[in-house]
Structure 1
Amino acid sequence: MIYIAALALIGGAGLLIYMLKEAFADRIIYKELSFSEFPESFGEVKLFFISDIHRRLISEKIIDEVKGKKTDLVIIGGDLMEKGVPFERVKKNVLMLMEIAPVYFVWGNNDYEVDFHQLDALLLECGVKILDNTALSFESQKGDRFVLIGTDDLSKDRERLDLALEDAGTGGFRVLVSHDPRIAKQIKKEHNIHLVLSGHTHGGQIHILGYSPYEKGRIKKLPETTILISNGFGTTGVPLRLGAKAETHFITLKNG
């Protein structure tokens, strides 16, 4: 009986250590995505996407690896912080990401747990562009457009996809960033949104016997668009993961 109890204790401790390693992994997932609509005049556009940082400090290992990849844009997909996270830590994370490339940010639900006016001021001070129901357009030498669209947080009823699309104008290759993947329900074929980047669900964070209320992060092809749902970098609640390892994403967009 004592032997069985000891084995159970060792097994439990081993599982806990494994879940901690999953939660604090410094993982970059590399993915090339080809679209026939992507303008050849851009060659390739390289994005580093990180979502749901919460309480974590981004490691220099990740920064150093991505810095060597000639990244064009860094995108923070919301939940940069949550209640109780020091603003000094947030600023350090942001400045580290700024070493890679220009940084763009959309709001997540946990970002509103703090003084979001202070967070807004911090981001502007650091030179981060906030996409809150707005869009930015980049133009190639041939006049083709790459459009980055961002919506405010859906769960707080602050998203206005209609305003963001109006700001985007017409045409162009369009990437929409929204913290909450449920934004996909609002997308119509005529919006011509080619890719959606989102997080929020943490990929379920902890899967018991393979089950969680949310599916693991992945790329899905929908009738109206393609969506990437990230497991996210940090955790909420308990700092543990099982079956949904922490991740960031390096995405190369090209014609194909």
Structure 2
Amino acid sequence: MISVRNGNSMKRAKSSWASRMVMLLIVVLILMAGGYGYSTMIEPGLLDITRPVIVVKQLPESLDGLRIVQFSDTHIGEGYSLQQLDELIEKINEERPDLVVFTGDLIDKFRLFTEGRERLPQSLAKIEARLGKFAVYGNHDRGGGASTYYRSCMEEAGFKLLVNESYPIEMPGERRLVISGLDDYLLGQPEEEAVWSSLEEKDYNVVLVHEPDAAAQWKTIHPLDLILAGHSHGGQVQLPFIGPLIVPPLAEKYVEGHYELESASRSRHLYVNRGIGTTRKKVRLGSKPELTVLTLRHTPA
């Protein structure tokens, strides 16, 4: 009798273990399905409005409290519609920015985006900024035949498209606010010296560039104060304790957020925006679309 009882106990134990394994498998499949649904249908449609404060000791008094709104990598097309862009523009204007900057990759696949080409500059023209709107080329703006359209679109919308050039803004006092932009590093022709030679130590110099890792080579360029970039999408998919699974070329060192960079003579800051849209696959996980509202401060508020 003892052996029969032991046999029955072992059968019940095996059956219980099998049941637990089946339940665990079901839970895992549910989590995977939920994660897939969230990453493809929910998170790509969210918006994280980040509000970094950049503290600069030598900041001119006229720039204390300056608000810069940065958006990037909209990749308009199948994964991001003009209606979504219009909603984003409303949020940008609600921030009442002093400056608005776009750091590249407006349309995802230019040759497939035909119906909205006429309307797109009309939407972007609704963006309001007290001191101006500025943009640079991204790799998607240079590739696929998009280059000429991108220039005309941004200029029609009231953006100053900066291609290896600088644009000074006169401010009260002796120091100017200078916005510079470099051409795309993957498909364009960036001419760094053309920009560096136009910068003056006395000014507050902001540089726009699509690919953030270009800034890693600028340690000896002294008159740079703030660098704004995009391109990375924050990896689009990030996992806890692992980080981004895949990042594009020239966005491997600086992936997202605020970095204080080494500089010989003054504090230098880089901010990498995670972008708005997606490319290749409409998926985001742990890397929400981002609108950056950046404030310059002489001292912490």
Same fold (TM over 0.5): yes
Q: Does 1:17 align with 2:37?
A: yes
CA distance in 2, matches of 1:119, 1:141: 33
Q: Does 1:252 align with 2:295?
A: yes
> How far does the alpha carbon of each residue in 1:34-89 deviate from its partner, in whole angstroms, 9 at most, with x for none?
10121013332111000111022445554334323331111000101122334246
Deviates more, 1:190-199 or 1:233-242: 190-199
State the partner residue of 1:213. Answer: 246
Deviates more, 1:166-175 or 1:46-55: 166-175
Contact residue 101 and residue 135 of structure 2 kept, 8 A: yes
Amino acid at match of 1:152: D
TM-score (norm 2): 0.76
Q: Does 1:85 align with 2:113?
A: yes
Amino acid at match of 2:246: P
State the partner residue of 1:67. Answer: 93
Contact residue 82 and residue 114 of structure 1 kept, 8 A: no
Amino acid at match of 1:26: L
Unaligned runs of 5+ residues in structure 1 are none
CA distance in 1, matches of 2:89, 2:124: 11
State the partner residue of 1:109. Answer: 139
1:93 Cα deviation from its structure 2 partner? 4.4
**Equivalent residue runs for 1:110-125 within 5 Å:** 110-112=140-142, 113-125=144-156
1:16 Cα deviation from its structure 2 partner? 1.8
Aligned-pair identity (%): 27
**Equivalent residue runs for 1:150-169 within 5 Å:** 150-169=181-200
**Equivalent residue runs for 1:129-148 within 5 Å:** 129-148=160-179
1:191 Cα deviation from its structure 2 partner? 2.6
Unaligned runs of 5+ residues in structure 2 are 1-20, 248-253
SS in 2 for 1:167: coil
1:117 Cα deviation from its structure 2 partner? 0.9
CA distance in 2, matches of 1:28, 1:85: 27
CA distance in 2, matches of 1:13, 1:92: 39
CA distance in 1, matches of 2:86, 2:153: 21
Q: Work out which structure has the larger RCO, using CA pairs closer than 8 Å and 6 or more positions apart in sequence.
A: 1
Inter-CA distance 158–46: structure 2 relative to 1 (3 Å threshold): same
SS in 2 for 1:121: helix
CA distance in 2, matches of 1:46, 1:126: 21
1:8 Cα deviation from its structure 2 partner? 4.4
Which structure has the larger Rg over C-alpha atoms?
Answer: 2
Q: Does 1:194 align with 2:194?
A: no
Deviates more, 1:169-178 or 1:236-245: 169-178
CA distance in 1, matches of 2:284, 2:61: 40
Amino acid at match of 2:136: V
1:2 Cα deviation from its structure 2 partner? 7.4
Deviates more, 1:13-22 or 1:74-83: 13-22
TM-score (norm 1): 0.88
CA distance in 2, matches of 1:29, 1:180: 20
**Equivalent residue runs for 1:32-71 within 5 Å:** 32-55=53-76, 56=80, 57=82, 58-71=84-97
Deviates more, 1:207-216 or 1:230-239: 207-216
